[in-house]
Chains A and B, each alone.
Chain A
Amino acid sequence: MRVKVAVFWGCCILASQYAYEMSVREVLPKLGVELVDLREALCCGDPVRSVNDFAANYLSARVLALANLTGLPDLLVPCNRCHFTISEAKRAVERDKKVREKIVGMLKEEGLEYNPNIKVWHVIDLLHDCVGLKSVGKAVVKPLNGLKLASHVGCQIIRYSDLGRVDDAENPRKMDELIRATGAESVDYNEKLDCCGSHLMLSHPDTALSLAGGKVKAVQGLCVDGLVVSCPDCGLMFDSKQKEAGTTVGAKLNLPVLYLTQLLGLALNIEQEKLGLQLNQSPVDQLLSKVSA
């Protein structure tokens, strides 16, 4: 199966979480998904939501209007926060005639057109529901048997269900199934639904770090080979800031953290450099040596 989708990266991936972008760009085409970049880089509106709800909706609608320019009906949004912000905006534009008329008018000033029919995907449901577990499994050339992993699906792609989310709110399974498709094991654990805390970096950074540190500490206690994430904010908190997070909870943290697409890339036998694995700040080497052994 081959599909072509537009892709919107948001801010965090484009500005610092390069490993996620590199691994998505490498892995998805190998699984039959061709990616088309939007004309411009833009914020989805997430930090604006707290300042002005309407302006946040406008930014998200502008993202959808940029996607409309590609002529493709599907938009991949690999960031959980962007995925939620755009979904909320879609709902507001659909349900509120006044908001809709204003936003459509503002986009017109720039010659852009809002298209309500663009479907928004995340990496997880695109691979699980559209590409399919079978195809993912078939593409695996280097099974990751023997790896024991914990998954962190994040908050905003599973809540709240009324909005139409990527997986079940209280018992998400798709990410675990994708991990298992590589031959690795994915364990269940008590803290699975705990939040990474990233939003608080804007107002209470110490608390944000202790939320992240607390979760990493708990996962470390499971004696797993690593923690798998699929959102740049979670990657930032658990991987890039793991050391700092450790000091806020008084623990020495050394848990390998990697993106789901990096893990899939390993199973597809893609070179580590191409997957950005040199960029992870957590000690992924211990996991990588197990994979290449």
Chain B
Amino acid sequence: MGLTDLMSMAKPNLESREKILRKLRGRELINCFQCIKCTSGCTALKLLELKPHEIEKLVNFGFVDELAASDIIWTCVTCLKCVQRCPQKASPYHVIVALRNLAVEREANVPEAFMKAVSQILETGLAEAYQKVTTRKMEACDRESLKLPKIPAPKEGFQAVFLKALEER
């Protein structure tokens, strides 16, 4: 079912819309005049059918709850072409980030990898674990064998403060 079909059965929720506007801190979503410049250059249009101008329109109409629950907001590649090219500074990418944050607050369909990255950061400071790699000749290497310096993990106090930061809305 396409996004627009989905909306034909839904009711707008202006409170949720307000929430998104607050998250956007003055980015002028409301000025979108549906020129479709964003969608015409969107990296995720061809393969994943992301249409940023539709996202803008639907948020403006108040269909925020449906969007926050939908998979479509997780198809953005963050290429930022839409932000660059929008003549109205309506920043579709930033709208998508705000919707993702709302999806997390509501424990909706959040791809696991994002939450995993957060817990990895809590544990080690980095979102990824140090990896062993191989040369083209299949010799195994790591930071030590490549003589790269060891950079320490964050000091102890970091974890508690980062947890606090994650509770902010």
Interface residues in chain A, defined as those with a beta carbon under 8 Å from any beta carbon in chain B: 9, 11-12, 14-16, 18, 21-22, 25, 37-43, 46-55, 58-59, 62, 84, 92, 95-96, 102, 106-107, 109-110, 155-156, 159-162, 169-170, 193-195, 197, 199-204, 207-208, 210-211, 276, 278-281, 284-285
Contacts and interface: CB of A to CB of B under 8 A. Distances in A.
A217 to B, nearest CB: 15
B2 interface: no
Contact of A55 (B83, B131, B146, B166): B166
Contacts of B70: none
Contact of B79 (A41, A48, A195): A195
B154 A54 contact: no
A110 B157 contact: yes
Nearest to B96: A50
A106 B148 contact: no
Contacts of A162: 89
B78 A202 contact: no
B47 A159 contact: no
Given A92-B25, A199-B77, 19 more contacts: A14-B151, A15-B128, A15-B129, A15-B130, A18-B146, A21-B148, A41-B153, A42-B125, A48-B118, A106-B164, A155-B81, A161-B84, A194-B43, A197-B77, A207-B47, A207-B48, A211-B47, A276-B146, A284-B136
B86 to A, nearest CB: 9
Interface of B: 23, 25, 43-44, 47-48, 74-81, 83-84, 89, 97-98, 100-101, 104, 110-111, 113-115, 117-118, 121, 125-131, 133, 135-137, 139, 141, 143, 146, 148-149, 151-155, 157-158, 161-162, 164-166, 168-169
B43 A195 contact: yes
B136 A203 contact: no
B113 A202 contact: yes
Nearest to A42: B125
Nearest to A194: B43
A204 B146 CA distance: 32
B136 A159 contact: no
A160 B84 contact: yes
Most chain-B Cβ atoms within 10 A of its Cβ — which of A50, A54, A84, A159? A50
Contacts of A156: 78, 80
Contacts of A194: 43
Interface-central residue, A55, A84, A208, A279, by most chain B CB under 10 Å? A55
A211 B45 CA distance: 12
Nearest to B129: A15
Nearest to A54: B168
Nearest to B93: A160
A257 B158 CA distance: 37
A16 B133 contact: yes
A195 B83 contact: no
Nearest to A198: B77
Contacts of B129: 15
Given A202-B111, A203-B74, A281-B136, A42 B117 contact: no
A48 B75 contact: no
B161 A203 contact: no
